[in-house]
């Protein structure tokens, strides 16, 4: 083997390395555009996730990729870059306490106060691939069927790829790990591969999926419930404050905000009353 061949083999095996000044470019980009802070310790993760895009474009450095993705006319690549760097982990009925609280407290209190025929409105505000809003739909369907009341769910995420997967509503064993056999039989259709299940049309029709950046203001109806779970952990104080100000304006008086298991907020700053860990109510 010649020296050149050895060098090429070595470089193919390891590929371009993400240098710390290049990491800084992606940290600044993600913070500016999505409010997300990427820690220095995540350098290998960032390199691994962006590597596919460098390879696809035939680029040999991460700086070249940054410049390409942020150049005018390359908006689609920019979106792919952003989507490569978001973390979309989720599954059905994640965090049992939240579903118990929804069915044991939020829905009964809402029904007491609501007029007959009223609609419960909820927003899954970082819905990833849809497991969270579909869990909400299953829980609300079970709680409100036969009550004369209806529900509607808006589900949004910054990542358009996961929104596409959410709309399709097809899931495997990992996502469905907490779904009971009864719920699986009632709300899903088995796929031909025998491994995956699709959410039934009736449930899919209750959810409106769309792309939305939480740093941007959204207008629309006032919600009785907003789920903002497992996304604030990626934001620093300033972006967290901006997101919470946007969301507080979208909750009906007395509506609930539920955060992820490791997340907190300074309730006074945003007009929320503390209910129990991770659960807040708009005053």
Ligand X SMILES: C[S@@+](CC[C@H](N)C(=O)[O-])C[C@H]1O[C@@H](n2cnc3c(N)ncnc32)[C@H](O)[C@@H]1O
Q: Indicate which residues carry an active-site annotation.
A: 49, 157
Q: For ligand X, which is the closer residue by CB, 35 or 255?
A: 35
Q: Report, in Å, the least distance between residue 79 CB and ligand X.
A: 11
Tell which positions 122-181 bind ligand X, by CB under 6 A.
126, 128, 132, 157-159, 162
Q: Report, in Å, the least distance between residue 76 CB and ligand X.
A: 17
Dig out the tokens for 137 from the structure: 């739909």
Residue 231: half-sphere exposure toward Cβ, Cα within 13 Å: 28
Identified binder of ligand X from the candidate list 59, 214, 251, 258, rule CB under 6 A: 214
The per-type count for the chain, helices as H runs and strands as E runs, is 12, 10
Query: End-to-end alpha-carbon separation of the chain, Å?
Result: 73
Identified binder of ligand X from the candidate list 61, 70, 79, 87, rule CB under 6 A: 87
Q: For ligand X, which is the closer residue by CB, 60 or 236?
A: 236
Q: Residues 58, 6: contact at Cβ < 8 Å?
A: no
Q: For ligand X, which is the closer residue by CB, 47 or 90?
A: 90
β-strand 188-190 against 197-199: which pairing, if any? antiparallel
Q: For ligand X, which is the closer residue by CB, 47 or 159?
A: 159
Please tell me the count of residues contacting ligand X according to CB under 6 A: 24
- Give backbone dihedrals phi and psi of 224, rounded to 5 degrees, phi first: -85, -20
Identified binder of ligand X from the candidate list 18, 34, 232, 247, rule CB under 6 A: 34
Tell which positions 39-58 bind ligand X, by CB under 6 A.
none
Q: What is the DSSP string of 213-243?
A: -TTS---SPPEEEEEE-SSGGGB-HHHHHHH
Site membership for ligand X, residue 89 (CB under 6 A) = yes
Closest to 169 measured CA to CA, from 197, 141, 194, 142? 197
Q: Report, in Å, the least distance between residue 38 CB and ligand X.
A: 11
Identified binder of ligand X from the candidate list 90, 137, 166, 179, rule CB under 6 A: 90
Q: Which stretch binds ligand X (CB under 6 A): 50-58, 88-96, 97-105, 144-152?
A: 88-96
Q: Which stretch binds ligand X (CB under 6 A): 20-28, 168-176, 189-197, 225-233?
A: 225-233
Tokens 């259709």, located at residue: 189
Q: What residues pair up with 257 in beta bridges, in sequence order?
A: 226, 280
Q: For ligand X, which is the closer residue by CB, 22 or 157?
A: 157
Identified binder of ligand X from the candidate list 61, 70, 79, 88, rule CB under 6 A: 88
Q: At what angle do helices 43-57 and 62-70 cross, to 10 degrees?
A: 70
Letter string b/e over residues 119-157, b meaning 16 or more CB atoms within 10 A of that residue's CB: ebbbbbbbbbbbbbbbbbbbbbbebbeeeebebbbbbbb
Tell which positions 92-111 bind ligand X, by CB under 6 A.
94
Note the residues at the interface with ligand X (CB under 6 A): 34-36, 86-90, 94, 126, 128, 132, 157-159, 162, 213-215, 229-231, 234, 260
């Amino acid at each position: 083997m010649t020296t050149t061949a050895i060098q090429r083999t070595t470089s193919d095996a390891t590929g371009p390395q993400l240098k710390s000044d290049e990491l800084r470019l992606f940290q600044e980009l993600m913070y500016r555009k999505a409010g997300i802070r990427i820690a220095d310790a995540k350098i290998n993760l960032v390199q691994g996730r962006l590597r596919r895009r460098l390879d696809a474009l035939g680029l040999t450095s991460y700086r070249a990729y940054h410049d390409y993705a942020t150049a005018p006319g390359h908006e689609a690549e920019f979106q792919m870059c952003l989507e490569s760097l978001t973390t979309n982990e989720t599954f059905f009925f994640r965090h049992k306490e939240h579903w118990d609280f929804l069915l044991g407290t939020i829905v009964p209190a809402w029904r007491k106060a609501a007029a007959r025929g009223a609609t419960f409105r909820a927003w899954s505000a970082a819905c990833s691939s849809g497991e969270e809003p579909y869990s909400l739909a299953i829980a609300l369907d079970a709680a409100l069927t036969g009550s004369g009341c209806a529900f509607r769910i808006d589900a949004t995420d910054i990542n358009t790829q996961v929104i596409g997967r959410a709309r399709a509503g097809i899931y495997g064993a990992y996502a469905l790990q907490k779904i009971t056999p009864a719920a699986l039989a009632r709300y899903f259709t088995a796929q031909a591969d025998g491994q995956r299940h699709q959410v039934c049309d009736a449930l899919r029709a209750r959810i409106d999926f769309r792309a939305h950046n939480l740093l941007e203001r959204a207008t629309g109806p006032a919600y009785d419930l907003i789920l903002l779970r497992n996304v604030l952990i990626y934001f620093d104080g300033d972006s967290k404050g901006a997101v919470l100000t946007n969301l507080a304006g979208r909750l009906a008086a007395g509506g609930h905000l539920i955060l992820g298991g490791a997340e907190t907020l300074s309730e006074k700053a945003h007009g929320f009353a503390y209910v129990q860990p991770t659960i807040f109510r708009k005053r």
